[in-house]
């Protein structure tokens, strides 16, 4: 199996009522059937913030281009098998994660979300205290533990 290296950006998106957006990963994605934050790979010609804004919009329909973006963590790594969308090839993805915090100016129940079904099958806005009731991807578990959320 071929190994690829990826720089991955992820978004901790908070509503104005302090709820965190999480989504259930679809089959075929890295860490399928686990809850995680939106994000994805930085593409050629993009910086990390541009990739973050693009990924959040593509995966959730939420436009964060006018929001304050703050780096939360930049020293996590992980790996998982992934099916490449363009070729169907199974690869081992070795990833370096950069996680950012974005706070929206609306409460969770007023934020319009349009999930990309290829990425996520459902979503929730959760209180930090509810995170321990969901099954997260290994990088999410590591980061939430590091931040004292789990």
Residue ranges per domain, the chain?
2-146
| Fold for the domain defined by 2-146 | Nucleoside Triphosphate Pyrophosphohydrolase (3.90.79)
Beta bridge partners of 92: 3, 81
**Residue 50, pLDDT score:** 98
* DSSP single-letter state for residue 74: E
Grade residue 82 by pLDDT with cuts at 50, 70 and 90. confident
pLDDT tens, 21-36?
Answer: 999 998 766 778 899 9
**Residue 85, pLDDT score:** 77
- The Cα 43–Cα 115 span in angstroms is 21
Identity of the highest mean pLDDT range in 11-20, 77-86, 87-96? 11-20
Phi-psi map region of 142: left, alpha, beta (phi>0 left; psi -120 to 50 alpha): alpha
Identity of the highest mean pLDDT range in 16-20, 91-95, 133-137? 16-20
Q: Which residue has the higher pLDDT, 83 or 43?
A: 43
| pTM (two decimals) | 0.88
Long-range contacts of 132-135 (CB under 8 A, 24+ apart): 134/22, 134/35, 135/33, 135/34, 135/35
pLDDT, mean of residues 96-114: 97
- The Cα 67–Cα 72 span in angstroms is 15
pLDDT, mean of residues 98-122: 96
| pLDDT above 90: residue 113 | yes
- The Cα 79–Cα 56 span in angstroms is 21
- The Cα 81–Cα 146 span in angstroms is 24
């Amino acid at each position: 199996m071929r190994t690829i290296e990826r720089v991955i950006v992820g978004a901790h998106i908070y509503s104005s009522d302090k709820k965190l957006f999480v989504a259930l990963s679809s089959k075929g994605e890295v860490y399928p059937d686990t809850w995680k934050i939106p994000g994805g790979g930085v593409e050629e010609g993009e910086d990390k913030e541009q990739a973050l804004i693009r990924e959040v919009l593509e995966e959730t329909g939420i436009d964060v281009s006018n929001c304050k973006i703050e780096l939360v963590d930049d020293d996590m790594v992980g790996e998982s098998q992934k099916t490449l969308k363009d070729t169907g090839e199974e690869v081992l993805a070795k990833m370096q994660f950069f996680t950012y915090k974005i706070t929206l100016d609306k409460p969770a129940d007023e934020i319009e979300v349009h999930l990309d079904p290829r990425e996520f099958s459902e979503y929730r806005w959760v209180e930090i205290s509810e995170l321990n009731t969901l099954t997260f991807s290994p990088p999410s578990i590591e980061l939430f533990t590091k931040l004292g959320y789990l």
